[in-house]
């Protein structure tokens, strides 16, 4: 199961640890994948100071398509509810991913998106990959796969 990491702060880079923050990953709905039936129950991240981690089920292959919304809430100094944020991205989690939240794809690419590159597509890429050099990149003339269009799913 993928483990996602992040560091929580405000835009002034100040710590929110004293406001007792909660970070939740909220699935967009229920789904099925393999032998699992997933409920749309929120997943609470673990925070130690400003550092957060959460282990999530991958969204690859879940039917219907499911993503996570990230919610942040914290309290005022007196313990009263203060703030509620929703990160405006659909977060998709590939099955072979452990790393920072910032490395996750925020929106799936359209099936007609085409990446043109000699390098393999990044984790989470969904679409078409044209195995070809970019502008200014030297063409390896001995590679028979140049110009091959491949579907990445």
pLDDT of 108 above 80 = no
Query: Measured between alpha carbons, how far apart are the two ends of the chain, in Å?
Result: 19
Residue keyed to tokens 């796969």: 145
Report the range out of 74-78, 114-118, 125-129 with the highest average pLDDT.
Answer: 74-78
Domain match, 12 and 86 both: yes
In a domain, 125, yes or no: yes
Name the pLDDT band for 36 (thresholds 50, 70, 90).
very high
- CA 48/CA 133 separation, integer angstroms: 44
Q: In degrees, to the nearest 5, what angle opens at C-alpha 67 toward C-alphas 33 and 149?
A: 80
| Domain count along the chain | 2
Domain that holds residue 37: 3-103
Confirm whether 61 is domain-assigned.
Answer: yes
Q: Are both 98 and 120 inside the same structural domain? A: no
- What are the distances in angstroms from CA 6 to CA 42, 48, 78, 124, 132? 17, 11, 26, 18, 34
Q: Indicate whether 134 belongs to any domain.
A: yes
**Neighbouring-strand partners of residue 92:** none
Tell me whether residue 32 is in a domain.
yes
In a domain, 108, yes or no: no
Residues 67 and 99 both lie in one domain: yes
* Helix, coil or strand: residue 52: strand
The reply to whether 76 falls in a domain is yes
Contact 22, 6 (CB under 8 A): no
Query: Residue 119 pLDDT > 60, yes or no?
Result: yes
Say if residue 103's pLDDT is above 80.
Answer: yes
Give CA 17 to chain center in angstroms.
Answer: 24
- Residues 90 and 119 occupy one common structural domain: no
> 15 is written with which tokens?
């710590």
* Same-domain status, 14 and 79: yes
In a shared domain, residues 118 and 98: no
Residue 55: φ, ψ to 5°: -105, 125
Of 84, 103, 122, the position where a domain reaches its end is 103
Dist. CA 86–CA 32, nearest whole Å: 25
The model's pTM? 0.68
**What are φ and ψ of residue 17, in 5° steps?**
-55, -35
Of 103, 127, 142, which residue is a domain's last?
A: 103
**Residue % of the chain over a pLDDT of 90:** 42
Q: Do residues 121 and 93 share a domain?
A: no
pLDDT digits (tens, 9 = 90+) for 81-100: 778 888 888 898 988 889 99
Confidence (pLDDT) at 123: 63
Q: Is residue 141 part of a domain?
A: yes
Let me know if residue 72 belongs to a domain.
yes
Of the candidates 103, 124, 139, which is a domain's last residue?
A: 103
């Amino acid at each position: 199961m993928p483990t996602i990491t992040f560091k929580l702060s405000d835009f002034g880079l100040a710590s929110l640890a004293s406001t007792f923050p909660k970070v939740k990953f909220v699935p967009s709905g229920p789904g099925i994948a393999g032998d699992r039936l997933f409920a749309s129950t929120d997943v609470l991240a673990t925070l130690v100071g400003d550092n957060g981690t959460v282990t999530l089920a991958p969204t690859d292959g879940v039917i219907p398509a499911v993503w996570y919304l990230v919610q942040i809430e914290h309290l005022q100094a007196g313990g009263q509810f203060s703030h509620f944020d929703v990160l405006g991205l659909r977060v998709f989690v590939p099955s072979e991913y452990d790393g920072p939240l910032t490395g996750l794809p925020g929106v799936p690419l359209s099936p007609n998106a085409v990446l043109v590159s000699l390098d393999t597509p990044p984790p989470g890429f969904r679409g078409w990959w044209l195995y070809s050099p970019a502008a200014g990149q030297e063409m390896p003339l001995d590679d028979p796969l140049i110009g091959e269009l491949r579907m990445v799913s």
